[in-house]
């Protein structure tokens, strides 16, 4: 995935998806692979598949804070501020003190953005 992000060559994106899918065949509950595959889907505008994978991450590991950020940011980009706010608030209420200072600041900013409706 890193190589795709650097070069934007589709072949690397395909290889990344293959690797994530292979990992998930071996271990369907591997949240790092689900999170990675969701990001890969989002990069090629397969938004519904990305959202589904991030939601599955949270079913398996409800304290995986990256998924809350990814869901919220994606919903913001879709102009679904209510949904974005929901995920940001869950993250804030349950995991705020476990976040790095940088992520705490980022979450506060995202909450404000989602709460303002744009």
**Per-residue DSSP letters for 37-54?**
HHHHHHHTT-HHHHHHHH
For the chain, the domain total comes to 1
User: What is the domain-level CATH number for residue 106?
Assistant: 1.25.40.10
d(CA 75, CA 70): 9
Q: Are 71 and 85 in contact (CB under 8 A)?
A: no
Q: What pLDDT tens digit does each residue of the chain (118 aa) get?
A: 555 445 465 666 678 889 999 999 999 999 999 999 999 999 889 999 999 999 999 999 999 999 999 999 999 999 999 999 999 999 999 999 999 999 999 999 999 999 986 5
| Domain of 31, in residue numbers | 2-115
């Amino acid at each position: 995935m890193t190589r795709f992000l650097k070069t934007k060559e589709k072949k690397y994106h395909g290889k990344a998806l293959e690797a994530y899918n292979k990992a998930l065949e071996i271990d369907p509950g591997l949240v790092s692979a689900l999170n990675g595959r969701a990001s890969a889907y989002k990069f090629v505008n397969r938004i519904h598949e990305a959202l589904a994978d991030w939601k599955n991450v949270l079913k398996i590991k409800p304290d995986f804070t990256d998924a809350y950020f990814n869901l919220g940011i994606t919903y913001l980009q879709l102009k679904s501020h209510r949904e974005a706010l929901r995920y940001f608030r869950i993250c804030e209420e349950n995991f705020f003190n476990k976040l790095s200072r940088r992520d705490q600041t980022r979450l506060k900013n995202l909450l404000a953005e989602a709460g303002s409706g744009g």
